[in-house]
Structures are given as structure tokens and as C-alpha cells.
């Protein structure tokens, strides 16, 4: 099927149904050895959509989906759309309390999950539990596809500066428009395969599902919890003949660092990166190892996946990576503080308009009015005020310059430091809190500074906070370090001095890594844990850590994981799969896995 400009004004369910009925025998979903054809996917989606309608789902409703990455997850989100509702997908790896609050906030008609998810989440709304049994035939067997293209299809939560996550309402037409833009710049169809590995709280997952299914390509589903596992993803790319990969630049960096330097990725046709800055050096190194095109995309969730795109040239390799001109159905305006256009070459705030702009924030009229603006001179319709800075080059391509507020990107995840601060104030013993990001690129980390209550135990407070924050915040929002201060620094006009806090955060980071510990007798659990603890402390730059602390909760990321694995392999004198760390991210569990490997045993999962 060709996605034409007309498709940008259509509903997703109509477009999908047309494609599935035209070519029902094409593979649609691939998960391990299981292949679901387009016709089989249609049957499963329509059955679940009918079950949702039978349980009271009506046009305009919202339905939450709480499932790990799987065939069932894909069926669920599509069935919600076919039932006339908007899907709100939640990451099963997020703290349950946070997810419950978000479910209360979006007030879905029900939650689709499985027995394990229902027990873990205990949601405040009715549950449709899918336990592997076939659903009874629905009383409403035909799909519900006669709604308007402007109707909501997706609700997506992002971090909120007030401490309350905000949910963007995205229409069928907005998603369809973006899929048309992807297809126009990167044509694919039957025979192509797209890797689905992105977490459902990052809007790039919409492209991994809807784009291939709308054009007859197949979705290759990565194992849940292994989206950081470069070895697993590389194996899938090879074995399943993946042709399109969407990811954040830090994951692309991990591929190049973790894999053999001679390994190539010539089976790929397209690699699309977004969510964080793309460095020229990474572009050069990727081009040296793949014939695939590399496209840098930009756009906040409020504008549905992306608003601009720039395919990185090979000859010559770029010294500067741009975010490109606007995609079809999209306008980008660079305005000054008076909402007047800035001259080309001058920095201005990015305002985005067009079909892909969300309908606003769910239940947040004041915030919607603040960020989704109308009446800007020389523009038409609503514009989303991004808070990003950019400059326009003579050829029309944009250069991203950073943020004008306190929002940051950590490993591709958009983080409002205000949400972390508000959450920190919920911790017992905390009177004031401030959070800053320090470092560049993949080395950027979050630092929390707190003023304790007079009766608080200052020495114990950081560890107590870390435990509480881990119950309430996703991994990407957890501070790498927590410092206790007598008072927060203020500027001359009495405002919080974030610049001074950022300087202090950088100053407190170790100037050079602590020497890695030498390997000794590693035949006992205690000695293996000593080695692992020493390596982690050296790589992470922390003075101490507990046996049960999660590597990724205390500042670990893809790059530091590669450093850890290199040091461990040098100590053991053997290759160790990165999966051993990803599935066992505490000192105790990782050490047990390594000890099993040294004894030629299969590490327990």
C-alpha cells in the first residue's frame, strides 16, 4: 500500500483494515519463532475490539494498556483504536504507584493487562485481564471505523514541571500524517521489517508499530526488558532481517561500542535517530560501518513523534548535525520573546504548527492555553510552543541550540527537573530540593541538592531518598547523586542559583576514574562481589554502594555498562554477554551470574 497525502487525513483503523484485507497473508508481527500474518492480526484485533465494546467502551473513551512488549501488547493498542477509543500505554517497568496516579489522571474506561500486571498494579478502574485464553465471540463483530480523523487515538504521558505528569491527546490524523512523512522520506513495503524495541512511554514506539503495519511491512518485537541490550538487538537485526531501526543516539553509540569493530550493519536500509543530540563523530563512525542512511529527527511528543528531519550526508561527513527542515503538513516558526520572527541565522524559540500538533493536555486547560497558542501574527492555526531554541540556516535546515527552561534529556527521555523536585519534597525529612543536569551528551547526569528538616538524619537522608524516589520515579528520572546542603544558593534577586548548583555538580564529579581493582581469587561469592563493587564504584564515580542497588538507578547507562563489561572481561579473561548485567543489575545478582559463568554454568534468570 502507498501512504499518500490523502492518508494523512484518514483514521488509523480504516487505513489498517484496508491494508490487511488487501494482503492478508503478509507477515505482520514477528516475535521469536512466532509469526502473525496480517489476516491473523486483523482477526485478533477485531475480536478484542469487539470485547472492549461489549464491556462498555464507547467513542471518545480512553483505555489503558499495561502489558510488556509482546504480540499481545500490539494487539491491545490496535484493538483500542478499532473500538473507537484512545490507547494510553504504560511501561510495566515504571513504579506502580506512579502508574496508578497516571491512570487516575487519565480516567480510562478500563485497563487491559494480564493477571501478573493486574496483581502488581491493582488499578483504580475495571480490568480486562488477558490470560492467554481465547476471547468469546464479541456481540459487536465488525470494527468501529466511522469516527472522525480528528478523534483522539493516543494519549501519551510526559514529565511535568509541576510534579504532575502531563498527557498529550493525539488524533488519528496526527499519527497518520507522521506515518505519511516517514514513508515519503523512507519508502518501504512488503519485505521490509522494523524493529520494535522502544518503550511505550516514548512516542517513537508509534512509528515502530503503525508505520510498518500501514504499508505491509512487518514488526519484529524485541524481548521485554532488553531494549538496552545491544547484543540482543543486533542478533534480532541479523536473524530477522530488520531493515529499519529507530532509536536514540545513545543506543546507536552502544551498538558501535559493544559490538566487534569489524561488524557491519549493511542489512539495514534506514536508521532513524531522535530524542537527544546526535554528534558528528557518531555519524562518521556509523557511516563507516553501514550502508544504511542515517536520519536525525526532532520534535516533542506534543507534535507526534517528529516535526523536522535531516538525512546526514556521507560526502563529506558533517561537522555539524542539523535537525532539518519541517516535514510535510508541518510549519516551524522561530520567534523572539515578543513572538516576532527572528532573522535567519539568529536563535529563536521553536513554535510548531500543522496536522501533527496534539489537541492539548488532558484535563489541563490552563497548561494547554500556555503551551498551545493561537493568534501569532503571520501564522495560521494553533502552534505548540516548545521551549527549544534553534537557528535557521540559509538552506532552510534548522540547528538545535538547546532549551530555554529547565527541561533536559537524559538517555533520550524528556525530564522536567521540577517533577523530580516536587517528588523529592514528598520524602520524609526534606524541606527544600533542587535538581540540575550536569555534563554533556551521553555523560549528562541528574544531581539533587536538598535542605533537610532540622530533625532529619543528614547522613542517612540520601539513601532514604534514593529508596523512596525509586518507588515513585522511572529510572531515567532518578538522580545520580544526592547532596545535603544547609541552604540552597540564591542569586542576587533571590531566585535559585541553578548555574552555581550545576557548577558544583560538575566539580564534585571525579576528574579521572578511580583505578579499577585488580582481579584476585574469584572463586567465592564474597570475592566476586568485592571485584564487581570496585569496578562499579570506579566507573560510576561513587564512594560506596549497597549490594542491592540497581546499576541503572545510581547513574549507570549504556556507556558505563560497556565500561563495566570491559573491566569484568579483563578480570575474568573471557567474554561475558552484556545480558548478564542487564538482567542482573545489582552487585549481588551480577556477581552470582559471573560466578556461574566461571564455573561453566548457565546463569539463572
Comparison of pLDDT for 582 and 134, the residue scoring more: 582
| pLDDT score of 133 | 63
Instruction: Name 69's Cβ contacts closer than 8 Å, sequence gap at least 6.
Output: 196, 197, 200, 221, 222, 223, 224, 227
Mean pLDDT of all residues in 34-43:
96
pTM: 0.80
Contact 30, 221 (CB under 8 A): yes
On the question of a cis peptide bond just before residue 316, with omega within 30 degrees of 0, the verdict is: yes
Q: 401 pLDDT band (50/70/90 cuts)?
A: confident
Q: Each residue of 273-298: pLDDT tens digit?
A: 998 888 888 899 999 999 999 999 99
Cell of 146: 466511522
Cell of 336: 523572539
* Euclidean distance between CA atoms 96 and 89, whole angstroms: 13
Q: Each residue of 404-461: pLDDT tens digit?
A: 876 677 766 778 787 888 788 889 999 888 899 887 665 678 899 999 988 999 999 9
Q: 511 pLDDT band (50/70/90 cuts)?
A: very low
| Domains of the chain, each with CATH number or no CATH | 5-130+148-311 (3.40.50.12780), 330-403 (2.30.38.10), 407-508 (3.30.300.30), 525-598 (1.10.1200.10)
Q: Each residue of 334-368: pLDDT tens digit?
A: 999 899 999 999 989 999 999 999 999 999 999 99
Mean pLDDT of all residues in 581-600:
85
Cell of 86: 484512545
Instruction: Name 375's Cβ contacts closer than 8 Å, sequence gap at least 6.
Output: none
| pLDDT score of 443 | 66
Contact 29, 21 (CB under 8 A): no
Q: 4-22 as b/e, with b when 16 or more CB fall inside 10 Å? A: eeebbebbbbbbbbebbee
Decide: helix, strand or coil at residue 15.
Answer: helix
* Euclidean distance between CA atoms 448 and 433, whole angstroms: 7
* Euclidean distance between CA atoms 240 and 596, whole angstroms: 30
| pLDDT score of 276 | 83
Mean pLDDT of all residues in 175-197:
96
Amino acid at each position: 500500500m502507498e501512504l499518500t497525502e490523502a492518508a494523512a487525513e484518514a483514521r488509523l483503523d480504516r487505513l489498517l483494515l484496508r491494508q490487511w484485507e488487501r494482503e492478508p497473508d503478509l507477515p505482520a508481527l514477528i516475535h521469536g519463532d512466532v509469526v502473525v500474518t496480517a489476516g491473523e492480526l486483523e482477526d485478533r484485533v477485531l475480536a478484542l475490539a469487539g470485547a472492549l465494546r461489549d464491556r462498555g467502551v464507547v467513542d471518545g473513551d480512553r483505555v489503558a494498556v499495561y502489558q510488556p512488549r509482546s504480540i499481545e501488547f500490539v494487539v491491545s493498542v490496535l484493538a483500542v483504536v478499532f473500538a473507537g477509543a484512545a490507547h494510553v500505554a504504560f511501561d510495566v517497568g515504571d513504579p506502580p504507584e506512579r502508574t496508578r496516579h497516571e491512570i487516575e489522571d487519565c480516567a480510562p474506561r478500563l485497563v487491559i493487562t494480564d493477571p501478573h500486571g493486574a496483581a502488581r498494579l491493582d488499578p483504580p478502574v475495571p480490568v480486562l485481564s488477558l490470560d492467554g485464553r481465547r476471547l468469546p465471540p464479541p456481540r459487536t463483530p465488525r470494527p468501529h471505523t466511522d469516527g472522525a480523523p480528528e478523534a483522539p487515538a493516543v494519549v501519551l504521558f510526559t514529565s511535568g514541571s509541576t510534579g504532575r505528569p502531563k498527557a498529550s491527546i493525539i488524533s488519528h490524523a496526527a499519527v497518520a500524517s507522521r506515518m505519511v512523512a516517514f514513508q515519503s522520506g523512507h519508502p518501504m513495503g512488503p519485505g521490509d521489517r522494523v524493529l520494535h524495541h522502544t518503550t511505550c512511554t516514548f512516542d517513537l514506539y508509534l512509528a515502530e508499530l503503525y508505520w510498518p503495519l500501514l504499508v505491509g511491512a512487518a514488526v519484529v518485537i524485541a524481548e521485554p526488558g532488553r531494549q538496552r541490550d545491544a547484543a540482543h538487538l543486533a542478533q534480532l537485526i541479523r536473524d530477522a532481517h530488520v531493515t529499519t531501526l529507530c532509536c536514540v543516539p545513545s543506543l546507536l553509540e552502544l551498538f558501535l561500542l559493544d559490538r566487534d569493530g569489524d561488524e557491519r550493519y549493511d542489512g539495514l536500509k534506514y536508521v532513524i535517530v531522535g530524542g537527544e543530540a546526535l554528534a558528528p563523530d557518531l555519524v562518521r563512525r556509523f557511516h563507516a560501518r553501514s550502508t544504511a542512511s542515517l536520519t536525525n529527527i526532532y520534535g516533542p511528543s506534543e507534535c507526534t513523534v517528529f516535526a523536522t528531519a535531516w538525512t546526514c550526508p556521507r560526502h563529506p561527513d558533517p561537522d555539524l548535525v542539523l535537525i532539518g527542515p519541517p516535514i510535510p503538513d508541518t510549519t516551524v516558526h522561530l520567534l523572539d520573546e515578543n513572538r516576532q520572527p527572528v532573522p535567519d541565522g539568529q536563535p529563536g524559540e521553536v513554535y510548531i504548527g500543522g496536522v501533527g500538533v496534539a489537541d492539548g493536555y488532558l484535563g489541563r486547560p490552563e497548561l494547554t492555553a500556555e503551551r498551545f497558542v493561537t493568534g501569532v501574527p503571520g501564522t495560521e492555526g494553533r502552534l505548540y510552543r516548545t521551549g527549544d531554541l534553534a537557528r535557521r540556516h540559509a538552506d532552510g535546515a534548522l540547528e538545535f541550540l538547546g532549551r530555554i527552561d529547565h527541561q533536559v534529556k537524559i538517555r533520550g527521555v524528556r525530564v522536567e527537573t521540577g517533577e523530580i523536585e516536587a517528588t523529592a519534597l514528598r520524602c520524609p525529612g526534606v524541606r527544600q530540593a533542587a535538581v540540575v543536569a550536569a555534563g554533556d551528551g551521553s555523560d549528562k547526569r541528574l544531581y539533587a541538592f536538598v535542605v533537610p528538616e532540622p530533625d532529619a538524619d543528614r547522613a542517612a537522608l540520601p539513601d532514604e531518598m534514593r529508596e523512596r524516589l525509586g518507588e515513585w520515579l522511572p529510572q531515567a528520572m532518578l538522580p545520580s547523586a544526592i547532596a545535603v546542603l544547609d541552604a540552597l544558593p540564591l542569586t542576587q534577586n533571590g531566585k535559585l542559583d541553578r548555574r552555581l548548583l550545576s557548577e558544583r555538580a560538575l566539580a564534585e564529579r571525579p576528574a579521572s576514574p578511580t583505578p579499577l581493582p585488580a582481579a584476585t581469587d574469584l572463586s567465592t561469592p564474597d570475592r566476586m562481589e568485592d571485584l564487581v563493587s570496585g569496578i562499579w564504584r570506579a566507573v560510576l564515580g561513587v564512594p560506596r554502594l549497597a549490594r542491592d542497588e540497581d546499576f541503572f538507578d545510581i547513574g549507570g547507562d549504556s556507556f558505563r555498562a560497556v565500561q563495566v563489561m570491559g573491566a569484568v572481561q579483563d578480570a575474568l579473561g573471557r567474554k561475558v554477554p552484556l545480558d548478564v548485567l542487564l538482567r542482573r543489575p545489582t552487585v549481588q545478582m551480577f556477581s552470582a551470574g559471573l560466578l556461574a559463568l566461571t564455573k561453566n554454568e548457565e546463569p539463572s534468570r
